[in-house]
Structure formats: structure tokens, C-alpha cells
């Protein structure tokens, strides 16, 4: 969702207003965001203890004294989030200018491609989708350091994850951004020596790196940098707007923050981990059979194992077995229902991770897979609307900055772009070439089709060969026959 500048936005943030924003962010926002990340990441805090254990009953958690716990953790959140990211940005997207002037459109495309590559390319887009899926929203800051000698013009897209973002939203309209604060704590190269008392001896000292608070405040007029509570830099914002694009992962009406994919899965994940832990403990205690021997001398002195035999002259001797793991249909059904609830809540079924256990019926393979993944495909299309609008706004900001700094003059109507999304399903090379031929017959520009096929670099060589710059004879026909 692109955020516009408010007409009554302040030139600078007062220290009192800035402190109130940071306090509210730490108190009301950060705890929830960090919980979302813990459940997604499920880091190992120390050997045998995982972050998702916080949602288990006390009887299953590892004690603080290090005694063994009884928890079984199966992270069903992370692979679902990764599947959503793969369907969103598993392959690069194509960003194309809508300018009516072919020459201007070519220059705009070259600049936008260079900026995206300099910012990380498809990896940047995957990180954007991952942070948005976990936290519910993500921000992109367009940074400007004009450099005419750089292909990207000195522009860079920086991803700001939700824990670092502190927005000042207009009181009358949540879509208007009055100011924007980036708050983080950074490790510096400075060290400090601290005394401490280890449990096994006397006082000692050790050196640690200094953590420094870094605050960056953006308003339509100024940019301020604050470190250790002091303003160390202040520059004029020549763009005249806050160069921030806010993207909601899933829309949440009348709210700046979006909806996280992790949040609704947390209670189901806790229930799944609890039931898996209970079942594992029950199997551990009851999986071994026990034997009751009567009338056999020395029975306990010989091990019980396959093929083991005992002989006795006592006609009343007997051996009875009892115990062992019994079938528990209700327990298995409950675990299955919890997994299915996670499938419905997230829209991601196990087939997205390559587990082919869905009942696909007598349909053809492609149609069957699409039906099984209908929820994930619908969610992906919904997300592409929000993420696509955000990327378009980023491109508009880049072209606006390039115009302000004189690197690429453009009019507002020339800054509109089109996002071409690839099909989330993997296609064979034959299918790609067949679709390319159909696009050419429908009138899609040949250069665009070659770019989608991955022949953009070869196409540049073809132009160089045609202009007499060298190259192998006939090189251009090798890669273009498929789309003639």
C-alpha cells in the first residue's frame, strides 16, 4: 500500500514525540512481533531446548536446572511460510515501463533493473515476502546517493523489517504517513571491559563489544540521524516526501499493520507439539513388553530376546507377556485434525512441500495439483495485489528521485510500470516455448517474450552482431527460432 505525505506533517520530530513513539513501540508492538519470529524460526536456545517450548505445558518443558525435558517439537509453521514465499517469488518478476516513448521506456527499464540487481534481485524480493509473511507487513526505504557513473544511479532499496519500523501515521487517516523512524541497535567496533564473578572462582573481567542505539527520522522536509541520544547528522529531504513504501502482507481494514501468516498458526502449533510430546512419552513408557514368569528358575539372569528359550521340568511353569504400545485411534485422529486445521488456516497443504498424499481423483495431473493447491494459489494472488502495488510505488519513487537529481528526467505519467508475474507452477521448457509462440502471435513484443524466456543477454549480443560489433555468424538465429 503506497503511503502519501500528509500536508500537516512536521518538519522534525520533537524529542518528546520521538521518545513517546519509541516507548509505545517497545511496549505494545515489539513483544508480539518477536513472538511471531520465535515461532517461525524456532531457534535452539541451548541443547535440547527450543523456542516453541514456551507454548507447552510446564510438565513438558525442560527445567531451568538443565534436567531433561519431555517436549517433541515439530515446526509446521516454517515450511508453510517458505512455501508461500516460493509461490510468491520463486522466480524473478519482470518490471516494465508503461511510457509511450520507446526510448524513454528502455532507459527506465535499464535503471529499474540495475537498482533491483544492486538491492539483491530476487533475493531481496524473497526477503521482503518472508518478513511480510512473518510480521504481517514490511517496509521499503528508497535511499538516494546520486552517482551518474553507477548503472543504478546510486539508488538502493532497503528492506525495513517491522521490529525496526516506527511509523508516525496521520491521526485522521491511517494511509497518510507524517514521519517515519528506523530504530535499531547496532554492534560497534568499540569494546568495553566489564567485571563479573564466575561461579567457579573470584572476580574476573572480560571485554564485550559496545551496542549503540541508532535512530533515523524521516520527514518530508528533513532526515535526521541520532546516536547515543545526540543528533549527529541532519540533511534536507530534497524528494519532498517520505521515501517509504509500506506493504501489508494481507489487508487489515483501517489499520497500518497487516495480517501475519504466523499469528493464527501459533495456538494450533502449540496443540500439535503438546499432543506429539504426550504421544512420544506414552510410546517411550509403554512400547516395551514386560514378561511375568512362573515356575522358571533363573529367568531374570538370562536376557529376553528373539529366539530365546527356557527349559524346565515344572509342568505348571508359564510365561505371560503384557504391556506394549496399544492402538489409540482417537489420539491419531486428533493429531490429524490439528494438521488439517493448520492446512485450512494457512492455505498451504503438504503437497506444496512435495508430500503427495492428497486424494486427487481421476483428474489430469496439472488440474489435480491446482485443485489441491487452490487455497495457496488464491492467497498468492491476493498477496500479489498488495506486493505488486508496493513494487510499483517503489519504482515511482526511484524515478521521482532520478528526476529530482537530474539523472533521468521524467514526467509523472511516465513513471508508471507494469509487473509481470510468472506462473507459480514450474513449467517444462517445451511448455514455456509453446506459450512464447502464442504470445508472439497475439502481438506481445518479441523483446518482452525473449526476456521472459531468459534470453535478454543473448538478445543484446544479437543487436551487437547486427551493428557490426562482432560475434559468431548466425548466433542470433540460434535462440530466437522458438518465438518466431
The pLDDT assigned to 127 comes to 97
163 phi/psi in degrees, rounded to 5:
-60, -25
* pLDDT above 60: residue 204: yes
pLDDT digits (tens, 9 = 90+) for 11-39: 889 999 999 999 999 999 999 999 999 99
The pLDDT assigned to 471 comes to 41
In terms of Cα–Cα distance, which of 104, 470, 483 is closest to 462? 470
pTM of the complete model: 0.82
* pLDDT above 50: residue 190: yes
Structure-model confidence comparison of residues 16 and 300, the more confident one = 16
Q: Is the alpha carbon torsion for 117, 184, 134, 352 positive or negative?
A: positive
pLDDT digits (tens, 9 = 90+) for 122-139: 999 999 999 999 999 999
Query: Looking at residues 370-386, what average pLDDT do you find?
Result: 90
Cβ distance 61 to 53 under 8 Å?
yes
Q: At what angle do helices 30-41 and 122-135 cross, to 10 degrees?
A: 120
The pLDDT assigned to 402 comes to 96
pLDDT digits (tens, 9 = 90+) for 210-261: 889 999 999 999 999 999 889 999 999 999 999 999 999 999 999 999 999 9
Cβ distance 403 to 142 under 8 Å?
no
Provide CB contacts within 8 A for 144, sequence distance 6+. 154, 155, 239, 243, 401, 405
In terms of Cα–Cα distance, which of 3, 258, 268, 253 is closest to 135? 258
Average pLDDT, the chain: 84
Residue 81's CB: how many other CB atoms inside 10 A? 21
- Domain ranges, ordered by start, for the chain: 4-265+378-420, 429-469
Query: Looking at residues 174-185, what average pLDDT do you find?
Result: 92
Tell me the three cell numbers of residue 269.
502449533
Query: Looking at residues 344-367, what average pLDDT do you find?
Result: 70
Cβ distance 156 to 145 under 8 Å?
yes
Amino acid at each position: 500500500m503506497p503511503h502519501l505525505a500528509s500536508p500537516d506533517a512536521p518538519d522534525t520530530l520533537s524529542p518528546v514525540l520521538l521518545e513517546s513513539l519509541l516507548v509505545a513501540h517497545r511496549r505494545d508492538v515489539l513483544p508480539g512481533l518477536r513472538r511471531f519470529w520465535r515461532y517461525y524460526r524456532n531457534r535452539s536456545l541451548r541443547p535440547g531446548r527450543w523456542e516453541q517450548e514456551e507454548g507447552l505445558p510446564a510438565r513438558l518443558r525442560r527445567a531451568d536446572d538443565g534436567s531433561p525435558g519431555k517436549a517433541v517439537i515439530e515446526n509446521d509453521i516454517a515450511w508453510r511460510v517458505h512455501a508461500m514465499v516460493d509461490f510468491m517469488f520463486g522466480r524473478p518478476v519482470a518490471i516494465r515501463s508503461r511510457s509511450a516513448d520507446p526510448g524513454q521506456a528502455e532507459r527506465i527499464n535499464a535503471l529499474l533493473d540495475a537498482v533491483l540487481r544492486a538491492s539483491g534481485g530476487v533475493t531481496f524480493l524473497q526477503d521482503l515476502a518472508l518478513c511480510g509473511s512473518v510480521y504481517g507487513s514490511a517496509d521499503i526505504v528508497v535511499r538516494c546517493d546520486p552517482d551518474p557513473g553507477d548503472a543504478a544511479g546510486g539508488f538502493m532499496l532497503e528492506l525495513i523489517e517491522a521490529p525496526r519500523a516506527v511509523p508516525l501515521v496521520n491521526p485522521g487517516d491511517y494511509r497518510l504517513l507524517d514521519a517515519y523512524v528506523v530504530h535499531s541497535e547496532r554492534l560497534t567496533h568499540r569494546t568495553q571491559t566489564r567485571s563479573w564473578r564466575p561461579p567457579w572462582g573470584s572476580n574476573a573481567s572480560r571485554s564485550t563489544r559496545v551496542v549503540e542505539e541508532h535512530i533515523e527520522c524521516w520527514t518530508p522536509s528533513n532526515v535526521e540521524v541520532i546516536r547515543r541520544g545526540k543528533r549527529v547528522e541532519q540533511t534536507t529531504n530534497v524528494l519532498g516526501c517520505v521515501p517509504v513504501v509500506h506493504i501489508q502482507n494481507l489487508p487489515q481494514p483501517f489499520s497500518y499493520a497487516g495480517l501475519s501468516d504466523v499469528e493464527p498458526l501459533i495456538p494450533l502449533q502449540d496443540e500439535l507439539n503438546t499432543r506429539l510430546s504426550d504421544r512420544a512419552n506414552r510410546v517411550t513408557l509403554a512400547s516395551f513388553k514386560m514378561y511375568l514368569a512362573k515356575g522358571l528358575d533363573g529367568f531374570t539372569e538370562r536376557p529376553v530376546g528373539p529366539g530365546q528359550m527356557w527349559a524346565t521340568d515344572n509342568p505348571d511353569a508359564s510365561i505371560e507377556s503384557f504391556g506394549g504400545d496399544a492402538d489409540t485411534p482417537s489420539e491419531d485422529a486428533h493429531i490429524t485434525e490439528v494438521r488439517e486445521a493448520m492446512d485450512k488456516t494457512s492455505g498451504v497443504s503438504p503437497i506444496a512441500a512435495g508430500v503427495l498424499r492428497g486424494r486427487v481423483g481421476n483428474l489430469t495431473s496439472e488440474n489435480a495439483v491446482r485443485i489441491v493447491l487452490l487455497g495457496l494459489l488464491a492467497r498468492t494472488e491476493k498477496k500479489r495485489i498488495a506486493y505488486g502495488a508496493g513494487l510499483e510505488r517503489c519504482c515511482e519513487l526511484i524515478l521521482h528521485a532520478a528526476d529530482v537529481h537530474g539523472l533521468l528526467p521524467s514526467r509523472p505519467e511516465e513513471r508508471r510500470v507494469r509487473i509481470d508475474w510468472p506462473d507459480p507452477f514450474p513449467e517444462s521448457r517445451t511448455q514455456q516455448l509453446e506459450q512464447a509462440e502464442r504470445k508472439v502471435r497475439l502481438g506481445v513484443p518479441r523483446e518482452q517474450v525473449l526476456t521472459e524466456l531468459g534470453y535478454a543477454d543473448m538478445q543484446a549480443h544479437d543487436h551487437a552482431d547486427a551493428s557490426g560489433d562482432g560475434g559468431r555468424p548466425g548466433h542470433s538465429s540460434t535462440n530466437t527460432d522458438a518465438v518466431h
